[in-house]
Amino acid sequence: MSLIETHGMTVRYEAVPVLSNVDFAIEKGEIVTVVGPNGSGKSTLIKALLGVLKPTAGTVRQADGLRIGYVPQKLHIDPTLPMTVMRFLSLPHRHTEAERIEMLARVGVTGVGARQMADLSGGQFQRVLLARALLAKPDILILDEPTQGLDQPGIAGFYRLIEDVRAETGVAVLLVSHDLHVVMSASDRVICLNGHICCEGAPNVVSAAPEYRALFGLGTGGTLALYQHAHDHGHDHDHDHVHHHPPALDEAQ
Amino acid sequence: MLDDFLIRAALAGIGLSLATGPLGAFVVWRRMAYFGDATAHAAILGVALAVASGLPVFLGTVLVAMGVALAVSGLSWRGQAMDTVLGVLAHGALAFGLVAISLVPGARVDLQALLFGDILTVGRADLAVIWGGSLAVGLLLVWRWQALLTATLNDELAASAGIDPARERLGLTLALALVVAVAIKVVGALLIAALLIIPAAAARRFTTTPEAMALAAIGCGALSSIGGLQASLRFDTPAGPSIIAAAVVIYLISVAYRR
């Protein structure tokens, strides 16, 4: 089976549906990117896939014994909690000192082991988060906006690292991101999310899809491509998404 | 050796520190100070109910503290305005507890001891309860340590590794209720939260890892117990508050300390 899959998954907060009827699957070794505007349910999707949120309807299933390496969008470490980088890398599973030092080198932050997590720069912090996730020898890496607060070279470097790791280990990667241009070229598949799956497919297919352009106004039409959408979705949660969306891109094109 | 009341008192303080050190560290890291207060104050209500119903006091205290702690932690992840709700609960539990005690017919409850502790009258049986409860809490924390720390950092981080953050939270809540029931004899309901927070806060300055901080908090708690008892003897001051005062002095020294 797939590493993680959902069928008809709906998640509501209070009574408001944040995600509706999501069918999602990620396979071994795949790089899948989820894009979508703020409030589109990206973080909710990740929480549901991790099992932190229970879906209101539908199912989520992880493969048996699935090992997940998770890199959170933001990790706030309370200033009252002392935490060296080396100590952090052994959470929740303990790893030998040699393994941890080697992994720090692998992600390009040799020598920060004795520092406090709070004293790291944004880029170093993200790489340490990645190192911790990789130490679990995951089947899948789940990265939630992993490059927030990084500058352009930092972002490019980070994604290069992810691609290298995938090439070396064959780990699947599920990425939630805003960095559309950078991310999409590296992805096998892109999912465009806005409360439901608007469209999905290979990066070039998705970037040409009207649903995608309606959300991001990118591509050949530039800003004019905004709202060229055949039928306006009304992408908010004030009404139910009862109308039919073209599920396949062939239809949409 | 256990015949000396002062030695029994010191042993009570040291035993309690084994639990309040690491648990207090979690209270500080997770910002549960008010939560600790609410649970501790609920113990007074527990004493009143135990006296009224003829239950053993320890049992009544544990049960009511646990009930309030569970109710509060149920609220805490529904994301209400927490400090207000906790403020209401903490002081509400205190007020209702004091009212309830005054209503228990023929009750001979020493209010002073309930509020500020009575460590100098700790007997052998009390010592057994204090050490038993503290060791139980200590072992629970050691057993769940990695999972608790991960869940303290981030719920999703924990869930991604198969740890249920709600279950870990529940473990801490139960540990807190047990510590409150054990500690009420030593420092009293009003100062239990202080014994959790102050040694941990003092330990923060000297340490670079969570484990070191928890151990240092144990040391600081034990030192405060011994120092407070000495001061209490010399200046003829109440023992419970003297212990907390000693902890505050250590905290102030730690604040002044520069690395």
ipTM: 0.88
Per-residue confidence at B48, pLDDT binned at 50, 70, 90?
Answer: confident
Q: What is the pLDDT of residue B58?
A: 86
* CA B171 – CA B166 distance, rounded (Å): 9
The answer to whether the peptide bond before residue B238 is cis (omega within 30 degrees of 0) is no
- Choose from B153, B215, B259 for mutation: most chain A CBs within 10 A: B153
| Mean pLDDT, range A216-237, rounded to an integer | 41
Partners of residue B204 in chain A, C-beta under 8 Å: 80, 82
Provide the H-helix boundaries in chain A.
Answer: 42-50, 85-89, 97-106, 122-135, 152-169, 180-186, 203-208, 210-216, 249-252
B53 contact partners, CB below 8 Å, separation of at least 6 = B60
Q: Where are the domains of chain B?
A: 5-258
| Domain at B5-258: CATH architecture | Orthogonal Bundle (1.10)
| Mean pLDDT, range A30-35, rounded to an integer | 91
- CB contact under 8 Å between A68 and B161, yes or no, is yes
Q: What is the pLDDT of residue A183?
A: 67
B100 to chain A nearest CA, in Å? 38
Per-residue confidence at A222, pLDDT binned at 50, 70, 90?
Answer: very low
Q: What is the pLDDT of residue B154?
A: 92
Partners of residue A68 in chain B, C-beta under 8 Å: 160-161
Q: Is B176 helix (H, G, I), strand (E, B) or coil?
A: helix
B75 to chain A nearest CA, in Å? 15
Q: Which of A164, A166, A165, A187 is nearest to A176 (CA)?
A: A187
Q: Does A77 touch chain B (CB under 8 A)?
A: yes
| Mean pLDDT, range A197-210, rounded to an integer | 82
A49 contact partners, CB below 8 Å, separation of at least 6 = A4, A6, A24, A60, A62, A142, A174
Distances (CA, A) of A208 to A126, A217, A237, A252, B52: 31, 11, 25, 10, 75
- Choose from A81, A115, A145 for mutation: most chain B CBs within 10 A: A81
- CB contact under 8 Å between A80 and B204, yes or no, is yes
One-letter identity of residue A120: L
Q: pLDDT digits over B167-182, tens only?
A: 999 999 999 999 999 9
Whether pLDDT at A86 is above 70: yes
| Mean pLDDT, range A80-108, rounded to an integer | 95
Structure tokens given for B174 = 């139960």
* CA B148 – CA B141 distance, rounded (Å): 8
Q: Which of A156, A157, A158, A154 is nearest to A143 (CA)?
A: A158
Whether pLDDT at A238 is above 60: no
Whether pLDDT at B65 is above 80: yes
Partners of residue A3 in chain B, C-beta under 8 Å: none
| Mean pLDDT, range B125-144, rounded to an integer | 95
pTM confidence score: 0.86
Q: Which of A78, A74, A85, A206 is nearest to A146 (CA)?
A: A74
Q: Is B107 helix (H, G, I), strand (E, B) or coil?
A: coil
Among partner residues A76, A80, A142, which is closest to B160 by beta-carbon distance?
A142
Average pLDDT, chain B: 89
Partners of residue B254 in chain A, C-beta under 8 Å: none
Per-residue confidence at A247, pLDDT binned at 50, 70, 90?
Answer: very low
Beta bridge partners of B114: none
A197 contact partners, CB below 8 Å, separation of at least 6 = A22, A23, A24, A191, A247
Q: What is the pLDDT of residue B2?
A: 66
Average pLDDT, chain A: 82
Q: What is the percent of chain B with per-residue pLDDT over 70, rounded to a whole number?
A: 94
